[in-house]
Amino acid sequence: MLRQKRSIGEYLAFLTVKYEVDPEKFLNALRLAREQGKTNCESLSIEFRGNVNKQHIFLVRNKSGVVAQFRVPDEFLLEKQNSLGKFIDATMLRKVLFQKCKGVRVHSISDLRAGMSHVNLRAKILEVAEPRRVVTRYGNYANIAKALISDDTGTIKLCLWNEQINAVTVGETVQIENARTSTFRGEKQLTLGTKGGVSNDGDSRFNEVTCLHPN
């Protein structure tokens, strides 16, 4: 089991890789948006949404719509010596670059059929059921909960195990990677195997949970 909290620098660097913008221009654009309320950075539009507990809230859009909303601590944003470039070599970012080169497909819920694997999609958490204590086929105890998720094309249940349950919050948007589809009692659902993961798409911590399916 593994739950990792990503630093704000790593998360912002991740966004620059994912949306192919210069990291230092992006950081400077955040500072400018804080002063002016709104600015652009190449393909991205950045809007300053206010302050909460000495953290600045930003909303980022591209031509397809909202891509992220996150908080940046005051001390990080105002430190002129900060550089996002130093985070580009992080393992997470190398993984993103590799996936971009492979042309990983992003699915919609309406695309999903039973038996599919390597499912990647972005969806909103609508509800999370109360966890249940179960015994796995390997004889281990595990907590399981089903979350109802949605995108513009439909809804589906996402099966969460153990620490994955606490890694998601109702109302947030998440990135789901390497999931597979199955059916349970005639209902289609998504599950995350040992190589699957779910990450918060709009939080500066960029929580990533992987390898949580009970063995």
Segment among 17-26, 85-94, 167-176, 180-189 with least mean pLDDT: 85-94
pLDDT of residue 16: 85
Domain range summary for the chain, segments of one domain joined by +: 2-102, 109-210
Q: What single DSSP character describes residue 6?
A: P
More confident residue, 79 or 5: 79
From the list 195, 133, 125, the residue with the least C-alpha distance to 167 is: 125
DSSP secondary structure string for all residues of 111-149: G--TT--SEEEEEEEEEEPPPEEEE-TTS-EEEEEEEEE
d(CA 83, CA 89): 13
From the list 5, 113, 23, 8, the residue with the least C-alpha distance to 56 is: 8
d(CA 32, CA 55): 15
- Phi, psi of 65, rounded to the nearest 5 degrees: 130, -160
Q: Which amino acid is at 215?
A: N
Read off the pLDDT band of 103 (50, 70, 90).
low
CATH classification code of 109-210: 2.40.50.140
d(CA 2, CA 145): 18
Contact 116, 181 (CB under 8 A): yes
From the list 106, 202, 122, 206, the residue with the least C-alpha distance to 158 is: 122
Percent of the chain at pLDDT above 90? 26
d(CA 151, CA 194): 24
Q: Taking residues 39-52, what's their average pLDDT?
A: 92
pTM comes to 0.48
d(CA 85, CA 88): 5
Q: What is the pLDDT of residues 124-147, one digit of tens each?
A: 999 999 999 988 777 888 888 999
Contact 102, 95 (CB under 8 A): no
Buried/exposed 36-55: b ≥16 CB within 10 Å, e otherwise? eeebebeebbbebeeeeeeb
